């Protein structure tokens, strides 16, 4: 039986190179201390922001420079903790960084409160007389938009100082997940014993062609989750209640309206995405589930069978070097600058790809300003891995382009756009593979990989969003959020979506425990928005040619200078219309129909 590696046992070339952020932990500690000692570059302007545009400019420029340094220092502690969250020293460093961030946020809060206290028209007057303030216009406009919901200066400073406490639900969840959760080994029907972990289950066993392995791993995985359901429900409930209380205190219509303020999209769009995709996608996915049950000869299709390959005996492996060539080729339409970034990511160890004890589950890309991005995943030599890596490289490309073109204050767009560049890369990879041709069996296999992308973003994450939507409504009505409630609601959501095509067992009801997205505001629905945008843009490129991507790169360079819907309008896509959503769902239906004809 193979035991998971410790971090020290992982081959160096398979890890990311954090030395490019800070050469040593000591250098990082010195920078964190230096950042706090540099606070006076901003605080020296306290009480003076109404004295002239030049003072406001000096203050905002100093804050931007300081926060860019803080972003880089924060990333270092986060990444070290992500690679081995079970290490007590790394936990302590990450906690110390969070405490420093809370102190710095509190010290800088006066900037926002003083700007909001200026007489009406003052900021516009400053912008007119000082051209260099233009770089801060987006953040000033965003601040003006939340002015009706701001509390007193003293209260805002107290809330800022409580940042570490307000982030505690996420910290508790991730700390427990990386340090405490352990899964028992399991024995498959052939008598072989296998170790289990979050990463092993989600990256290997969940899509195993062997039903015995898949179902035994699922049983072990669910048994490992079960003892923690009350603790994780408490962290979930605390996160929800935090946002309910803040929304009410700030005078928002609901906690959803409060969280969507920073998304810069109307509440109606959010609801349309949730309702339209669930209603119109469910029939296609139920057909796909019934096809899987029939082809695999299963007496019943369990939730843990949803990612089983339709053709178990045909599973071409894809090693990391093969994936490099495939991804580079797929992203050629994005142009030379983008292609060079992708090649550098492989050559300069931007990618951490081997599982080890304490390593964060799932995949993400962190893009500290002024440094290159860092990608975490677990490579298992499958085609699905290539799609996940292409996705994370999409985040890397986005923030590399934005970071080269924008000051720190303008690099990050509102959340609904964040997933569009990453999912765009998945769609390009899918269409690149399909365009290469091959025999009917290969095409079927590729279609299954493409449907995996749509399942991940249109089903897994969207049903997370539906759970959030229901839980926030219940919490605002005074309903306590407990493990029993979360299990009941998650089970009902899954049963409604899958109908009688899939058997929803007790383990499926626990899947709310698997994702950290519930602690990132209303993040889950944005994956669907990104997939809709990416599908529409890929369709547009097929009609109009690769010139579409010239405009797309300009959108990536724009960073956060425009709201999400305006960013997409720059490439001729109107996400406020229901048509792109319906077109993406119809594309899924066509792929399912092709597979039905092929089996």
The DSSP element (H or E) to which 431 belongs, if any, is: helix 420-435
Q: Comparing C-alpha atoms, which of 90, 112, 109, 110 is closest to residue 101?
A: 109
In tens, the pLDDT along 407-466 reads 999 999 998 999 899 989 998 998 898 888 778 888 888 889 889 889 988 999 999 999
Taking the alpha carbons of 216, 221, 222, 227 in that order, is the dihedral positive or negative? positive
Predicted TM-score (pTM) above 0.75: yes
- CA angle centred on 85, ends 83 and 87, rounded to 5°: 105
Q: Does the pLDDT of residue 210 top 70, yes or no? A: yes
| pLDDT classification of 2: cutoffs 50, 70, 90 | low
The domain locations on the chain are 7-166
In tens, the pLDDT along 509-537 reads 999 999 899 999 999 999 999 899 989 99
Per the structure block, which two tokens stand in for 582? 């319906």
C-alpha span between 56 and 61 (Å, rounded)? 8
Burial string for 341-355 (b: 16+ CB within 10 Å, else e) reads bbeebbeebbbbbbb
CA dihedral 144, 148, 151, 152 (to 10 degrees): 70
Using DSSP's 3-state secondary structure scheme, residue 130 falls into: coil
Q: Comparing C-alpha atoms, which of 455, 483, 444 is closest to residue 593?
A: 444
Distance of CA 369 to the CA centre of its chain: 18
> So what's the architecture of 7-166 in CATH?
Up-down Bundle (1.20)
Give the DSSP letter string of 255-278.
Answer: HHHHHHGGGTS-HHHHHHHHHHHH
CA dihedral 485, 490, 493, 499 (to 10 degrees): -120
Q: Does the pLDDT of residue 247 top 70, yes or no? A: yes
């Amino acid at each position: 039986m193979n035991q998971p590696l410790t971090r020290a046992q992982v081959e160096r070339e398979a890890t990311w190179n954090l030395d490019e952020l800070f050469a040593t932990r000591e250098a990082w500690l010195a920078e964190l201390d230096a950042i706090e000692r540099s606070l006076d570059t901003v605080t020296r302007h306290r009480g003076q922001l109404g004295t002239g545009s030049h003072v406001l400019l000096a203050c905002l420029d100093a804050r931007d420079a300081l926060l860019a340094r803080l972003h880089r220092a924060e990333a270092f502690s986060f990444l070290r903790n992500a690679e081995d969250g079970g290490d007590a020293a790394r936990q302590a460093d990450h906690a110390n960084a969070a405490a420093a961030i809370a102190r710095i946020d509190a010290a800088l809060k006066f900037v926002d409160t003083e700007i909001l206290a200026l007489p009406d028209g003052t900021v516009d007057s400053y912008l007119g007389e000082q051209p260099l303030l233009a770089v801060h216009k987006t953040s000033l406009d965003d601040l003006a938009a939340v002015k009706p919901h701001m509390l007193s200066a003293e209260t805002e400073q107290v809330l800022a100082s409580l940042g570490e406490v307000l982030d505690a639900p996420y910290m508790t969840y991730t700390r427990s997940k990386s340090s405490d959760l352990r899964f028992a080994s399991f024995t498959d029907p052939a008598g072989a014993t296998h170790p289990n972990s979050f990463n092993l289950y989600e990256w290997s066993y969940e899509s195993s062609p062997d039903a015995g392995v898949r179902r035994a791993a699922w049983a072990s995985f669910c048994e490992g989750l079960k003892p923690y359901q009350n603790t994780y429900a408490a962290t979930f409930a605390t996160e929800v209640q935090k946002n309910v209380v803040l929304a009410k205190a700030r005078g928002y219509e609901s906690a959803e309206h409060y969280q969507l303020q920073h998304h810069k999209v109307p509440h109606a769009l959010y609801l349309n995405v949730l309702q339209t995709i669930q209603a119109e996608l469910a029939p296609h996915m139920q057909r796909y589930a019934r096809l899987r049950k029939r082809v695999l000869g299963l007496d019943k299709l369990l939730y843990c069978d949803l990612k089983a390959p339709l053709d178990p005996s045909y599973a071409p492996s894809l090693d990391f070097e093969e994936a490099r060539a495939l991804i580079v080729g797929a992203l050629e339409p994005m142009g030379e600058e983008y292609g060079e970034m992708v090649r550098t990511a492989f050559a300069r160890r931007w990618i951490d790809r081997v599982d080890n004890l304490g390593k964060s589950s799932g995949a993400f890309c962190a893009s500290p300003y002024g440094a290159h991005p860092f990608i975490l995943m677990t490579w298992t030599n499958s085609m699905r891995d290539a799609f996940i890596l292409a996705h994370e490289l999409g985040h890397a490309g986005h923030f590399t382009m934005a970071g080269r073109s924008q000051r720190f204050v303008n690099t990050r767009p509102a959340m609904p756009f964040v997933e569009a560049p990453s999912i765009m890369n998945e769609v390009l990879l899918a269409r690149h593979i399909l365009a290469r041709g091959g025999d009917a069996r290969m095409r079927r296999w590729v279609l299954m990989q493409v449907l995996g992308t749509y399942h991940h973003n249109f089903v897994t994450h969207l049903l997370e969003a539906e759970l959030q939507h229901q839980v926030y409504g219940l919490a605002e009505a005074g309903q306590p959020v407990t493990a029993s409630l979360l299990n009941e609601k998650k089970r009902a959501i899954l049963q409604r979506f899958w109908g009688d095509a899939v058997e929803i067992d007790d383990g499926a009801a626990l899947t709310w425990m698997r994702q950290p997205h519930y602690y990132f505001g209303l993040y889950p629905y944005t994956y669907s928005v990104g997939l809709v945008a990416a599908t529409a843009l890929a369709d547009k490129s097929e009609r109009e040619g690769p010139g579409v991507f010239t405009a797309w790169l300009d959108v990536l360079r724009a960073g956060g200078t425009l709201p999400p819907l305006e960013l997409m309008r720059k490439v001729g896509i109107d996400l406020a219309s229901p048509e792109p959503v319906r077109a993406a769902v119809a594309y899924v239906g066509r792929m399912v129909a092709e597979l039905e004809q092929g089996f």
